[in-house]
Amino acid sequence: MSDALSQGLSQRSALRAPSLNEQAYQKLKQAVITLSYKPGEYLNTAQVMDELEMGRTPINQAIHRLAAEGLLQVLPRKGVMVSPLSINDAIDMIDVRLANEMLCIQLVCKKISVANITQLKQLHVEMCTACEHSDHLQMLALDRQFHQTLLDIANNKWLTDVLSILHAQAQRFWASTLLDKHHMQEVVDEHNQIINALINNQVHLAEEAVQSHILSFRQSLLNG
């Protein structure tokens, strides 16, 4: 391989690799939304650096980014706290999410391809396996992928910005209810209903399936 070609490949690989700031953001966000860092918990920056194996600057950047998204709070003279969970906030968030999810599924119905259907079906297969093994962390990850895939298909930057924040907030609440195997199976079934409606290009049924999915999440929170 020539030096020029090797250099070109290395440069393209570097472009694809996430920056340290992005890695720190994703790692810290994952820890927050899966409740590894508990709501109301104060974070020790040095400890977070050690646990996530990231440097101070990327962690500080991640903290400020997550604070802007409402997952963390930077409190003067007190430090950094994981935002508390409030059932009232959750209900308000779900109302906003429902309106935006309906727009998302409408756009998906207009733009979805056979390749997209295949991708969603594969995620569903993996979620079925996670449910069978009661792997709630994998369930959380796959649910996030499922909704992100719908956003990618919808291909609307403004909608993606809004729903990405709402999804992260929702997953913190969902992580607290997902230990129940029955609820896991409900989520699997609800995703399947969405996929089937998309396969058959039934817009109305897709909207109903998404609405049912979000309202089921709302009910699970109210049930405690």
Q: Are 25 and 62 in contact (CB under 8 A)?
A: yes
Q: Are 52 and 22 in contact (CB under 8 A)?
A: no
**Residue 192's pLDDT band (cuts 50, 70, 90):** very high
Residue with tokens 């969603």: 120
Cross-strand pairs, 43:
80
- Residue 136: what pLDDT? 85
- What would the pLDDT profile of 92-109 be if each residue is shown by its tens digit? 999 999 999 999 999 999
Q: Can you give the pLDDT at residue 178?
A: 66
Q: Which two tokens stand for residue 111?
A: 């733009």
Residue 215 pLDDT more than 80? Answer: yes
What is the separation, in whole angstroms, between the first and last Cα of the chain?
Answer: 61
For 29-69, how does the pLDDT look when each residue is reduced to its tens digit (9 = 90+)?
999 998 899 999 999 999 999 999 999 999 999 999 999 98
Chain Cα centroid distance, residue 220? 18
Q: At how many degrees (to 10) do helices 87-111 and 136-154 cross?
A: 50
With a pLDDT cut of 70, the percent of the chain lying above it is 92
Per-residue model confidence (pLDDT) at position 171: 86
Beta strands at 72-75 and 79-82: parallel, antiparallel or unpaired: antiparallel
Tell me, rounded to whole angstroms, the distance of Cα 102 from its chain centroid: 17
Q: How is residue 36 annotated by DSSP?
A: S
Over residues 107-151, the pLDDT tens digits come to 999 999 999 999 999 999 999 999 999 998 899 889 999 999 999
Beta-bridge partners for 75: 79
157 CA to centre of own chain: 16
* pLDDT given for residue 77 in this prediction: 87
Phi, psi torsion values for 137, nearest 5 degrees: -70, -40
Q: 14-18, 74-78, 175-179, 203-207: lowest mean pLDDT where?
A: 14-18
Which residues, including other chains, have CB under 8 Å from residue 100's CB and lie 6 or more apart? Answer: 159, 162, 163, 166
Which residues, other chains included, contact 214 with Cβ-Cβ below 8 Å and sequence gap of 6+? 94, 97, 98, 101
The pTM for the full model equals 0.80
CB atoms under 10 Å from CB of 127, counted, come to 23
CA distance 95 to 1: 56
Any residues with CB less than 8 A from the CB of 23 and at least 6 apart, and which? 54, 58
Q: Would you place residue 89 in the very low, low, confident or very high pLDDT band (cuts 50, 70, 90)?
A: confident
10 pLDDT more than 80: no
The rounded distance, in Å, linking the Cα atoms of 203 and 2 is 53
